[in-house]
Amino acid sequence: MPSRYMPHVYSLRTELTLWFGGLSLIILLAAGFYVGNIATGALAAHSGELLFQRAKSATDLLETHLREREKEIALLARSPLLVNGDLGSAVIREVLEMRQQTNNEYAWIGVSGVDGRITQSTGGLLIDVQVDQRPWFQAALKGRFIGDVHEALLLAKKLENASPDQPLRFIDFAAPIKGPDGKTRGVLGAHAHWRWVTETVESVMTAGLDDSGIELLIADSRDNIIYPLAFVGTTHLPQIGADHGHYLRMRWADGEEYFTVVQDVNTGLEPGLGWRIVVRQPLHAALGPAESLRNHLWLLGVLSALMFVLIARRLSAQLSRPIEQLAAAARSVTSRNGKVDYPQAEHTRELKQLVESIRYMTDSLLQQESELLALCRWSNKWLNGLGSCRRPTLGLRSWRLRMRLPALPTGVPLMRS
């Protein structure tokens, strides 16, 4: 296809512009991608460590409170009043109620004999009720005990529920009551409010969790989520390897990926509760700032590339203008359009040499053509009507013509060699 139909497609100016612009765009986008990846990795590590610190703090605080309550019940079971006194006396009830009123974590505290019958309790609740089939009573006959969370059974209709939309749930503390002879004479048991546990772990979580998407969960020994209530029975902790580091990138049952931190709760008793504190954050929320930074870097790269294209366009125009002018001069020579204007390539040595060489070559060819034209006119005149002479060329025919001619008259210039 003739070049006149696409005057700018293959021009030097266009090619230089595209090369400079394309290379700058590739380099800047690659740099943005590299920096974005570094920022993503750094932010992922920071988010993971932040989740780990929150989970560790919540776990440590919960372990401390559980151990304090367990030791408190164990010490109370060893008090002289319970070791030597009547397990059904009103004094024991007063002592238990005083302890209940000290903090509001206990929903109920009671004493039973070895036969499992409640002899005394706070508020007089469940007195004479048999609890020998309850797990906390059976375990306390063998030693100190902390029980898993469960809904209130015997006390559901006897205690006021501060959150009517949620069922009453308790965790159990129990310890054996031994007489002076070392034999078990009864069991001291207590039901602590489940909200006390959740308030404990939530107290270490900072404000603004809704925006960051961070969630705190508690899983039991079977990996079932037992807190928050909305996840109970619907969410299961994914399988986790033994050596999982500080944080994991896990896909949960809802199909979304989370940064997840899991910490075991150690109560110091055997067997333990098997609870685990789980703190998780959606991947898109954790890496959102890094993704935003990467998008901004890519946008900056595109804008910078456009700026480089404009600069390259200007530089390529300055570089290609002498060549374009030289091409125009060559066309003028070909078409005999009068005086030929050669470009002034003063800033580029190579272009300056090229212009001078073409100028010299063109002047030499024009001079030879002028000599040949003069020779042709003289030859036509000398041959007396051999026909009009066509424009001579530097070909073999012109040379042969000259070789057949006699000596030239004085004044006719000779053709340069």
Summarize pLDDT for 219-253 with one digit per residue, the tens: 998 889 988 888 888 888 888 766 666 788 888 88
The contacts found for 195-203 with CB under 8 angstroms, 24 or more apart, are 195/162, 195/163, 196/65, 196/104, 196/105, 197/62, 197/65, 197/149, 197/171, 197/227, 198/227, 198/228, 200/58, 200/61, 200/62, 200/65, 201/58, 201/59, 201/61, 201/62, 201/227, 201/277, 202/58, 203/61
Q: Which of 150, 177, 199 is the last residue of a domain?
A: 199
Torsion of CA 322, 323, 327, 329, to 10 degrees: 20
Report field, pTM of the whole predicted structure over 0.95:
no
Share of the chain above pLDDT 70, in %: 82
CATH number at residue 124: 3.30.450.20
Task: Kindly state the average pLDDT of the residues 135-164.
Answer: 87
Residue 391 has pLDDT above 50, yes or no: no
Q: Which of 199, 218, 237 is the last residue of a domain?
A: 199
Q: How many domains does the chain have?
A: 2
pLDDT classification of 344: cutoffs 50, 70, 90? low
pLDDT at residue 210, as a whole number: 53
pLDDT classification of 392: cutoffs 50, 70, 90? very low
Task: Write the CB contacts of 82 (distance below 8 Å, at least 6 apart in sequence).
Answer: 76, 92, 111, 177, 186, 188
Task: Kindly state the average pLDDT of the residues 179-207.
Answer: 87
pLDDT at residue 242, as a whole number: 61
d(CA 117, CA 208): 49
pLDDT at residue 176, as a whole number: 96
d(CA 166, CA 43): 38
CA distances from 102 to 95, 105, 107, 187, 203 (A): 11, 9, 12, 22, 20
Q: Is residue 59 part of a domain?
A: no
User: What range does the domain containing 358 cover?
Assistant: 348-404
Higher pLDDT, 118 or 359: 118
Higher pLDDT, 345 or 259: 259
Q: Is residue 241 part of a domain?
A: no
Task: Kindly state the average pLDDT of the residues 34-62.
Answer: 82
Higher pLDDT, 336 or 35: 35
pLDDT at residue 8, as a whole number: 44
Q: Is residue 53 part of a domain?
A: no
Q: Is residue 71 part of a domain?
A: no
Rounded CA Rg of the chain: 49
Among 75-79, 122-126, 250-254, 289-293, name the one with the lowest average pLDDT.
Answer: 289-293
Q: Is residue 82 part of a domain?
A: yes
Among 39-43, 54-58, 260-264, name the one with the lowest average pLDDT.
Answer: 39-43
Q: Is residue 101 part of a domain?
A: yes
- Looking only at the bridges linking them, the beta strands covering 248-251 and 257-264 are antiparallel
CB 149 within 8 A of CB 226: yes
Q: Which of 159, 183, 199 is the last residue of a domain?
A: 199
**Residue among 165, 186, 150, 216 at smallest CA distance from 78:** 186
d(CA 192, CA 284): 38
Burial class (CB in 10 A: 0-12, 13-18, 19+), 239: exposed
Among 3-17, 34-48, 270-284, 380-394, name the one with the lowest average pLDDT.
Answer: 380-394
pLDDT classification of 29: cutoffs 50, 70, 90? confident
Residue 295 has pLDDT above 70, yes or no: yes
Task: Kindly state the average pLDDT of the residues 347-364.
Answer: 74
Q: Is residue 185 part of a domain?
A: yes
Among 40-54, 179-193, 387-401, name the one with the lowest average pLDDT.
Answer: 387-401
Among 8-17, 54-63, 143-152, 396-405, name the one with the lowest average pLDDT.
Answer: 396-405
**Residue among 288, 278, 289 at smallest CA distance from 247:** 278
pLDDT classification of 267: cutoffs 50, 70, 90? confident
Q: Is residue 167 part of a domain?
A: yes
**pLDDT per residue as tens digits for the range 300-335:** 777 877 887 788 778 777 777 777 777 777 777 676
Task: Kindly state the average pLDDT of the residues 154-160.
Answer: 82
pLDDT at residue 125, as a whole number: 93
